[in-house]
Chains A and B, each alone.
Chain A
Amino acid sequence: EVQLVESGGGLVRPGGSLRLSCKVSGFAFSDYIMNWVRQAPGKGLEWVSSISPDSNYISQADSVKGRFTISRDNARNSLYLFLDDVRGDDTAVYYCVRVGGSATYILDHWGQGTLVTVSS
């Protein structure tokens, strides 16, 4: 069974930093592109960042460029998102998401999410 379990969310002050983790199981993690997607309270979904299986290709939303860093450790079956210089509009549930499909880019498995609250 495919499982993605996020952790590391919590309360952080504006300008602070936080590292989110996603531990996966049930599939060959090192073969898959992974993403972070977030959702502010009561709002829609926003793609945050993507990383290739070998970490050689990374893409990010403009809203987080220069502040957030995606990384992965294939030996530990783990995906990470380092949030730096956070702002109020970074408050959201952050989802770890697998990209499935060989010919089609689809977000086929999602974690349960971890809540990040930015507040003083």
Chain B
Amino acid sequence: AIQMTQSPSSLSASVGDRVTITCRASQVIDRDLSWYQQKPGKAPKLLIYGSSILQSGVPSTFSGSGSGTDFTLTITSLQAEDFATYYCLQSFDYPLSFGGGTRVEVK
């Protein structure tokens, strides 16, 4: 099974900050990587798929990059509504696997 290692597990940031979250796959997964945002008590929401393709309606302050085993989610200018937990997901092969999550908190 493919393991997804996400870091950091949490971070503190301020509005306007640039935030970077990384995910590393235990084997090559091409670009079969998506990112999800989850707020407390809510279902996750798709942000980015295919490593770098922004889902419709997602602000352009979000971007993704990477291929192979190393991937990055970047928020170029953190907004108040972006404080949440973020997860990566590999869909290269079953069983699907999520990263452990990154909680973005207010500094």
Kindly state the separation between the CA atoms of A104 and B87 in the bound complex, as whole angstroms.
18
Interface contact B101-A45, CB-CB below 8 Å: yes
* B interface footprint on A37-69 (CB within 8 Å = 1, 0 otherwise): 000000011110010000000011110000000
A106 and B91 form a contact (CB under 8 A): yes
Contacts A45-B44, A45-B101 known; A107 to B89 CB distance under 8 Å?
Answer: yes
Interface size on A, residues (CB 8 A): 21
Complex Cα–Cα for A52 and B96 (A): 14
Contact in complex: B44, A105 (CB < 8 Å): no
Q: Which of B23-55 contact A (CB under 8 A)?
A: 32, 34, 36, 38, 43-46, 49-50, 53, 55
Is A110 engaged at the interface, CB distance under 8 Å to the other chain? Answer: yes
Any B CB within 8 A of the CB of A111: yes
B50 and A47 form a contact (CB under 8 A) = no
A71 contacts the other chain (Cβ, under 8 Å)? no
CB–CB A45/B87 < 8 A: yes
Q: Number of contact residues on B: which range applies?
A: 20 to 34
Taking a contact as CB atoms under 8 Å apart, the answer to whether B101 and A44 are in contact is: yes
Interface string of B71-91 (1 = CB under 8 A from A): 000000000000000010101
Whether A110 touches B44, Cβ cut-off 8 Å, given contacts A44-B87, A45-B87, is yes
Q: Do A105 and B32 form a contact, CB below 8 Å, given A47-B95, A47-B97?
A: yes
Query: From DSSP, what is the main secondary structure of chain B's interface residues?
Result: loop
Residue of B whose beta carbon sits closest to that of A58: B94
In the bound complex, what is the Cα–Cα distance between A47 and B89 (angstroms)? Answer: 9
Q: Are the C-beta atoms of B100 and A44 separated by less than 8 Å?
A: yes
Of the candidates B94, B97, B101, the one having the most CB atoms from chain A within 10 angstroms of its own CB is B94
- Which of A47, A62, A104, A106 touches B98 (beta carbons < 8 Å)? A47
| Known A112-B43, A113-B43; contact A50-B94, beta-carbon cutoff 8 A | yes
Query: In the bound complex, do residue A46 and residue B98 qualify as a contact, i.e. CB atoms below 8 Å apart?
Result: yes
Q: Does A108 contact B (CB under 8 A)?
A: yes
Inter-subunit contact A108/B100 (CB<8 Å)? no
Interface residues of A (CB under 8 A from B): 35, 44-47, 50, 59-62, 95, 101, 104-108, 110-113
